Amino acid sequence: FIEGQLLRYVPEIKDWVLIRDNSPFGLNDALYSGDSSKAEFIFPNNLLARIDATTQIQLIAMSEDASEMDLASGIARFYNRNPNGVLKVTTPFGYVLAQPNSIFDLYVGDQSAQIIDLNGQVEYVEQSDNSSYELTPGGASIIADANQVSNGEGDLDAGWDNWNNERESMPARRIEEERTSE
């Protein structure tokens, strides 16, 4: 699903090209969402990722028991619905490990990253010394830069959260619309 513009980097021509809804997203593909754009990706191993505007994401590896993505910049929400697989998401500052049945938001800026655990077991691993920090759903967030890791407020971006909740309720709304149209 694409709302607005989504670009895919094509190494052969060393340029970004516009893609449309239902375009494939495979290993090593790098995607970038334009201003005021959002996108949703559904993977065959029960992973789901959503990105906000001006976000760059890349799929590094995908299997039944472990998958890896890279979030170079921007905002994303990750759903690890794989009952047997771990999701690893790298950032310029470290990486996030999400166990089965977990959901988390990841905000990556020029100077730092913030991780908010929404559900399940999520931990952040610092790049410089591999220190691990467990998060708590609904608790404090983790804010990390190149030099330190600290606790944040854990506040969700309201507009981003509302958009995700809207996407979550779409299947139920479609069923209700079909029932009322009969």
In three state form, how does the secondary structure of 28-56 look?
CCEEEECCCCEEEEECCCCEEEEECCCCE
- Is pLDDT of 170 > 80? no
CA neighbor of 46 nearest in space, from 21, 27, 64: 64
Residue type, 164: N
Q: What is the pLDDT of residues 5-40, one digit of tens each?
A: 999 998 889 999 999 888 877 888 899 999 999 999
| CA distances, 117 to each of 49, 54, 105, 123 (Å) | 14, 22, 7, 9
User: What is the enclosing helix (H) or strand (E) of 172?
Assistant: helix 158-181
pLDDT at 180: 56
pTM of this structure? 0.90
Q: What is the pLDDT of residues 60-104, one digit of tens each?
A: 999 989 999 999 999 999 999 999 999 999 999 999 999 999 999
pLDDT at 173: 54
Instruction: Tell me which DSSP letter residue 81 carries.
Output: -
Q: What is the pLDDT of residues 41-55, one digit of tens each?
A: 999 899 999 999 999
